[in-house]
Amino acid sequence: MIVVIDFGSQYNQLIARRVREQKVYCQIEPPDIDIERLKSLHPEGIILSGGPASIYEEDSPRATPEIFDLGVPVLGICYGMQFMVDALGGTVSGAEKREYGFARLQIRKEDALLAGVGQGTQCWMSHGDSITGLPQGFEVTATTENTPMAAAGDPARGFYGLQFHPEVEHTPKGKQMLKNFLFSVCGCRGEWTMKAFAEEAISEIRNSVGDKQVILGLSGGVDSSVTAMLIHQAIGNQLTCIFVDNGLLRQNEGVRLKKIFTQHLRMNIDYVDAADRFIDALQGVTDPEEKRKIIGKIFMDVFEAEAQKIKNADFLAQGTLYPDIIESQSAFGGPTSIIKSHHNVGGLPEKMKLKLIEPLKFLFKDEVRELGETLELPDELVWRQPFPGPGLSIRVIGEITAKRLEVLRRADAILLEEIRESGYYRKLWQSFAVLLPIKSVGVMGDKRTYENILAIRAVTSVDAMTADWAKLPHDLLGKISNRIINEVDGVNRVVYDISSKPPSTIEWE
Ligand code: XMP
């Protein structure tokens, strides 16, 4: 295993991901980790992450210099390299200005870290201070135009430093460098699997929960489902999942999810049918943000009332993923992370004095799906497309009525059926129908119609930050359109949304 010491860089979780991609287990620890604890982890190597601080600042984060006496290789990245150089007797000087952006790497000496990297490769720089003197035993191995000590190493002790970020996509050969560190320098074997991650996480949950109760807001999405599965395997019925049916779900979704979780997975599910409360409160509301506010507030009220009923509940579990915390990351990571304000249960833990359990917080979506498969979560849940908390309310554009919701639900069900049938479901990030608040003229049989327009949205994406409209085959689009117009009363025209994000968004509201 590899320990990443987290000096607060926005990229530190990415380092962990890159290591895990090589099938080497990796754990992130704070800079003040106790040396005895570090030893007990038996790392094959240590990576010192980058960070926003300057080594000169009085309260800049530091790890104990004893980490350099453990006899294990150390790779310092950016601030991590500067910390290492400073701790081992080299010098770091304040730079006049920050170096930020691309640079070309000139290799002066191909050591174990830089093997196979090649001359002139691009690397991503983002640092203020610069190294001006190396500790004894170190040698410069690469330079860039502005950074005479872009890479350095002391192979005898297994210490290496990179002034740039090998973990980001902007450093295309970064993966090679990390691989070199893991396999050539540290001697890792690359045999770690998601099964091992699950076992670790389960035992950690067991230890921290003890005999207390855990509650979890279950939406049926892959994140909350995998979290539930993991915690259920750890503590069984000490977990209660609260599922709030807000009446804004897709066709048959609530019933179907309830059945899978209670009958198939045998979990303790508190299913709350609060549809009327939500729908009533949304009467006459057309503004999307207003819709979100109303839904968020009622959700909190309903969830809190249910949670109060569970005695001895000390913990709240959330399926927070790494991309959820990436922008709201606290300075030095650590076990507590800031909850995004738009999160459905944001605010609850403080209000109810619950401790948070976030077992997926270092994982990306594709890793969560892999974990779900490892835990034998049904495919239907593992491969579920993301669905927004406010549900269909933001897909009935304008005012929401029971009738309009029903029209959308039926059209959406047909769309999904065809998308699944065609084999596109897993290839798309999301695919759904949107009911527009305008009518158009049509002709059915011999009769003139004046009915709703329905839009189809299908996008590809890796993280929802950007998205492209999906190039679905025309005959598939034709079939969906035909079926919807013929089978759903109230729709006489179907259009396909061909906008990408940005400048559009995935949802219409
Ligand atoms: P946009 O529309 O901003 O959506 O491109 C990005 C992703 O977020 C989902 N989404 C939401 N999820 N509450 C949620 O839980 C919301 O209010 C919300 N709005 C959008 C959207 O479905 C897409 O996956």
Q: What percent of the chain has pLDDT over 90?
A: 81
Of 164, 185, 206, the one marking the end of a domain is 185
Q: Is the CB of 73 under 6 A from ligand 1?
A: no
H/E stretch holding 458: strand 447-460
Average pLDDT of the chain to the nearest whole number: 92
CB atoms within 10 A of CB 46: 26
Q: Rounded to an integer, what distance in angstroms lies between the CA atom of residue 50 and that of residue 179?
A: 18
CA distances from 94 to 56, 82, 160, 230, 238 (A): 8, 11, 21, 47, 53
Calculate the CA dihedral of residues 110, 112, 116, 122 and round it to 10 degrees: -70
Report cis status (omega within 30 of 0) of the bond before 502. yes
Phi, psi of 243 (to 5 degrees): -110, 115
Give the count of domains, the chain: 3
Q: Which of 507, 508, 509 to mutate to test the pocket of ligand 1 (most atoms within 8 A of CB)?
A: 507
| 97 within 8 A of 145, measured Cβ to Cβ | no
User: Looking at the predicted structure, is the pLDDT value of residue 336 above 80?
Assistant: no
Determine, yes or no, domain membership for 6: yes
User: Looking at the predicted structure, is the pLDDT value of residue 466 above 90?
Assistant: no
List of residues 6+ apart from 362 with CB closer than 8 A: 13, 16, 17, 28, 322
- 3-class secondary structure, 42: coil
List of residues 6+ apart from 167 with CB closer than 8 A: 11, 14, 15, 17, 18, 77, 174, 178
Find the range with the poorest average confidence among 48-62, 171-185, 430-444: 48-62
One domain for residues 174 and 200: no
Q: Is the CB of 506 under 6 A from ligand 1?
A: yes
Q: Is the CB of 288 under 6 A from ligand 1?
A: no
CATH of the domain at 315: 3.40.50.620
Q: Give me the residue label for tokens 């190597």.
A: 45
Q: If you average pLDDT over residues 187-211, what whole number do you get?
A: 94
Q: Which of 222, 506, 508, 509 to mutate to test the pocket of ligand 1 (most atoms within 8 A of CB)?
A: 506
Q: Rounded to an integer, what distance in angstroms lies between the CA atom of residue 173 and that of residue 240?
A: 46
Q: If you average pLDDT over residues 432-439, what whole number do you get?
A: 98
One domain for residues 209 and 353: yes
| 313 within 8 A of 212, measured Cβ to Cβ | yes
Structure tokens at 460: 């590809």
The beta-strand segments (E) located in 95-138 are 99-107, 121-127, 130-133
Determine, yes or no, domain membership for 110: yes
Amino acid at 67: I
Determine, yes or no, domain membership for 433: yes
One domain for residues 199 and 331: yes
Q: What is the pLDDT of residue 66?
A: 97
Instruction: Tell me the whole-structure pTM to 2 decimals.
Output: 0.78
Q: What is the pLDDT of residue 444?
A: 87
Distance of CA 434 from the midpoint of ligand 1 (Å): 14
Residue 345's pLDDT band, with cuts at 50, 70 and 90, is very low
Residue 349's pLDDT band, with cuts at 50, 70 and 90, is low
Q: Rounded to an integer, what distance in angstroms lies between the CA atom of residue 429 and that of residue 179?
A: 30
CATH of the domain at 452: 3.30.300.10
One domain for residues 132 and 43: yes
Q: Find the domain containing 472 and state its range.
A: 395-496
Helices 474-487 and 402-421 pack at an angle, to 10 degrees, of: 140
The pairing of strands 99-107 and 139-143 is antiparallel
Of 141, 164, 185, the one marking the end of a domain is 185
One domain for residues 370 and 415: no
Asked about 232 being catalytic, the answer comes back as no
Asked about 78 being catalytic, the answer comes back as yes
Find the range with the poorest average confidence among 23-32, 201-210, 495-504: 23-32
One domain for residues 156 and 29: yes
Determine, yes or no, domain membership for 342: yes
One domain for residues 238 and 95: no
Helices 222-235 and 194-209 pack at an angle, to 10 degrees, of: 60
Determine, yes or no, domain membership for 266: no
Determine, yes or no, domain membership for 272: no
CA distances from 257 to 174, 233, 254, 384 (A): 42, 19, 5, 12
Q: Is the CB of 333 under 6 A from ligand 1?
A: no
One domain for residues 86 and 179: yes
Q: What is the pLDDT of residue 496?
A: 98
**Of 152, 156, 155, whose CA–CA distance to 142 is shortest?**
152
Report cis status (omega within 30 of 0) of the bond before 166. no
The burial of 33, by beta-carbon neighbours within 10 Å (0-12 exposed, 13-18 middle, 19 or more buried), is given as middle
Helices 194-209 and 365-374 pack at an angle, to 10 degrees, of: 80
> What digits encode the pLDDT tens for the residues 241-279?
999 999 999 999 999 999 999 999 999 999 999 999 999
Q: Is the CB of 386 under 6 A from ligand 1?
A: yes
One domain for residues 125 and 207: no
Find the range with the poorest average confidence among 322-326, 344-348, 451-455, 470-474: 344-348
User: Looking at the predicted structure, is the pLDDT value of residue 495 above 90?
Assistant: yes
Determine, yes or no, domain membership for 82: yes
Distance of CA 507 from the midpoint of ligand 1 (Å): 6
One domain for residues 406 and 320: no
Residue 12's pLDDT band, with cuts at 50, 70 and 90, is confident
The beta-strand segments (E) located in 259-330 are 269-273, 313-317
Q: What percent of the chain has pLDDT over 70?
A: 94
Of 347, 382, 417, the one marking the end of a domain is 382
Q: Is the CB of 217 under 6 A from ligand 1?
A: no
CATH of the domain at 126: 3.40.50.880
Determine, yes or no, domain membership for 322: yes
What letters, b where the CB count within 10 A reaches 16 and e where it falls short, cover 112-134? bbbeebeeebebbbbbbbbbeeb
Distance of CA 133 from the midpoint of ligand 1 (Å): 49
Q: What is the pLDDT of residue 507?
A: 96
Q: Which residue of the set 29, 99, 167, 451 is catalytic? A: 167
One domain for residues 139 and 35: yes
- For the CA of 501, the closest atom of ligand 1 is 5
| 321 within 8 A of 361, measured Cβ to Cβ | yes
User: Looking at the predicted structure, is the pLDDT value of residue 96 above 80?
Assistant: no
- 3-class secondary structure, 285: coil
| 111 within 8 A of 128, measured Cβ to Cβ | no
One domain for residues 222 and 248: yes
User: Looking at the predicted structure, is the pLDDT value of residue 330 above 50?
Assistant: no
- For the CA of 386, the closest atom of ligand 1 is 24
Q: Give me the residue label for tokens 């066709």.
A: 251
- 3-class secondary structure, 372: helix
> What digits encode the pLDDT tens for the residues 291-314?
999 999 999 999 999 999 998 899
User: Looking at the predicted structure, is the pLDDT value of residue 365 above 90?
Assistant: no
| 240 within 8 A of 402, measured Cβ to Cβ | no
Distance of CA 465 from the midpoint of ligand 1 (Å): 10
Asked about 165 being catalytic, the answer comes back as yes
Q: How far does CA 146 lie from the centroid of its chain?
A: 35
**Of 170, 168, 75, whose CA–CA distance to 114 is shortest?**
75
Q: Rounded to an integer, what distance in angstroms lies between the CA atom of residue 258 and that of residue 310?
A: 19
> What digits encode the pLDDT tens for the residues 371-428?
999 999 999 999 999 999 999 999 999 999 999 999 999 999 999 999 999 999 999 9
